[in-house]
Amino acid sequence: MTGRTHDLAAFTTITYIIATHTVPPMTLATAITAFAGAMIGGLMPDIDDATSDFWDKIPAGTFFGKLLNPLLGHHRMISHSLIGMGIAGYALFLLFESMKHILLVDLHVVWWVTMIGFASHLIMDSLTREGIPLLFPLPVRFGFPPIKLLRTRTGSAVEHAVIFPSLIAANIYLLYVYYPAFLAFIGSIKR
């Protein structure tokens, strides 16, 4: 999937959670940081691709991406697996632990939302032909639907004409049906 689709998928996941779950009250600063976390998390698994949108968004990113590439293997290896998600989650936890006295935001919330963005990336990539090595290092790739030919290619017409618009439609649907939940969430945000 393209970076644009991953951004929208992470956004949609957040919309879904606000619609259907009781979100803990948080400050505006936490909500904004968590939102940024979701977007970064949604691109994070492509850390193994020096040309990805993840690195484009970071200063000198392509350079660092190329440095990391030999460590992470080919595109869509460990960073698109459960182990990769665990390592990223632990690294993020350590990073947030070191920042918790500097930043006045609830990093517990930010951590969860970033990891939810990460998971949304894996779900979206599993819809593509290549699938994802969820159980890395086991050399099995998973995808949905299980028949490879029924899955889409990154940047294909199906992604642009079906998947992307479906995600937009899902957001509109959730906002319409669960409107009171969104109002309650916005109302619960503290200054």
Confirm or reject binding of residue 48 to Zn ion (CB under 5 A).
no
Preceding amide of 137 cis, omega within 30: yes
* Token pair 């193994």 in the structure block, residue: 48
In angstroms, give the least distance from the CB of 80 to Zn ion: 6
Q: Which stretch binds Zn ion (CB under 5 A): 31-39, 124-132, 142-150, 181-189?
A: 124-132
- Contacts of residue 35, Cβ cutoff 8 Å, sequence gap at least 6: 14, 113
Confirm or reject binding of residue 159 to Zn ion (CB under 5 A).
no
Residue with smaller CB distance to Zn ion, 46 or 159: 46
- The separation between CA 169 and the C-alpha centre of its own chain, rounded to angstroms, equals 19
In angstroms, give the least distance from the CB of 142 to Zn ion: 13
User: Using N-to-C axis directions, what is the helix angle for 3-20 and 164-177, rounded to 10°?
Assistant: 20
Q: Which of 7, 46, 48, 159 binds Zn ion (CB under 5 A)?
A: 46
Residue with smaller CB distance to Zn ion, 46 or 106: 46
Confirm or reject binding of residue 125 to Zn ion (CB under 5 A).
yes
Which residues in 56-72 are b (16+ Cβ under 10 Å) and which e? eeeeebeeebeeeeeeb
In angstroms, give the least distance from the CB of 124 to Zn ion: 8
- Alpha-carbon distance of 131 to 152, in angstroms, equals 10
Nearest CA among 122, 103, 98 for reference residue 44: 122
Q: Which stretch binds Zn ion (CB under 5 A): 64-72, 92-100, 119-127, 154-162?
A: 119-127
Q: Which stretch binds Zn ion (CB under 5 A): 15-23, 100-108, 117-125, 173-181?
A: 117-125
Confirm or reject binding of residue 7 to Zn ion (CB under 5 A).
no
Instruction: Give the footprint of Zn ion on this chain (CB under 5 A).
Output: 45-46, 125
